[in-house]
Amino acid sequence: MQHDEPIIVPKKNRGDPRVGSDSLMILLPSELRHLAQVTKARRVALNDAAVSRIYLVDGEGSRTLTLCGPFLGAPQAVMAMEKLIALGIKRIWMLGWCGSLKTTVKVGDLVLPTFAFSDEGTSRHYPIGSDRPSTDKELLHTIAHVLEKRGETAETGPVWTTDAPYRETKEKVKGFQRLGAVAVEMELSALATVAIYRAIQFAALLVVSDELFEYVWRPGFNEPRLKKQTRLAADVLLEAASSFSAD
């Protein structure tokens, strides 16, 4: 069954834009707007609905940077990633939010995921021989270097990916804490799995938006530090992606 040919395949359609090697996948609408503004990106149309919004930051050849988003959950994010790969993207940098599972990681802190525990339904359709897909070490190093230059730090470690936020039970939280998970979110394991399956590079920078480590939910969506750190993370990813030399 693993080698069955799919009926519907992602593809580059006539009229789709020419892209470079790098794309930022921005799950948050506010940061997608911010990055589009600061880079003077132009919005382009696609001939299918796989991506809700896509922008191009013009550069020479492979240095044209793509911005896309926003997204919620693994299925939508994977549809977008598949389209980006079909267009020719080779490196994807993701920005999103997460819930902390670690007592020392608080709202507004940054998380650099090294791998993910897959607890969502999309990854199983992309057989890679593991339910703990890793992110790309080269891209992680690049993000960490940009953070260090700016005097910023990030918690590094695995995250738990779920597609059922209302089923983040106490026992599940405790179980993933025992496995060493730093945070929980809804997209990363699927995106990392597809990246491995399609042989591209993928990494992410997450910002803690809420806390679950005491087995009660403490949302921080209105905290000023979350807004400040999310903007910082967006700018860090932009710098990291822009630092790669042309292929």
- Whether 101 and 213 have beta carbons less than 8 Å apart is answered as yes
Q: Can you tell me the distance from the alpha carbon of 50 to that of 157, in angstroms, rounded to the nearest whole number?
A: 30
Largest alpha-carbon pair distance within the chain?
A: 52
Q: Which residues of 73-94 are buried (b: 16+ CB within 10 A; e: fewer)?
A: bbebbbbbbbbbbbbbbbbbbb
Ranges of H-type helices in the chain:
29-38, 74-87, 137-149, 170-178, 188-198, 224-242
Written as one string, the DSSP assignment of 14-67 is TTPPP--SEEEEE--HHHHHHHHHHTT-EEE--SSSS-SEEEEE--SGGG-EEE
> pLDDT tier at 163 (50, 70, 90 boundaries)?
very high
Which residues does residue 53 pair with via DSSP β-bridges, in sequence order? 69
Q: Is the pLDDT of residue 176 over 90?
A: yes
Return the structure tokens found at 98: 């997460």
* 207 pLDDT higher than 80: yes
Over residues 130-143, the mean pLDDT reads: 97
Domain ranges of the chain: 22-242
Q: pTM score, two decimals?
A: 0.94
pLDDT of amino acid 62: 52
Domain 22-242 grouped into CATH 3.40.50.1580: yes
Residue-wise pLDDT tens digits, 111-130: 999 999 999 999 999 999 99
Position 245 pLDDT exceeds 50: no
**E strands within 79-131?**
91-100, 110-119
Query: Measured in Å, how far apart are the chain's first and last C-alpha atoms?
Result: 35
In sequence order, the β-bridge partners of residue 116 are 159
Q: What is the pLDDT of residue 2?
A: 54
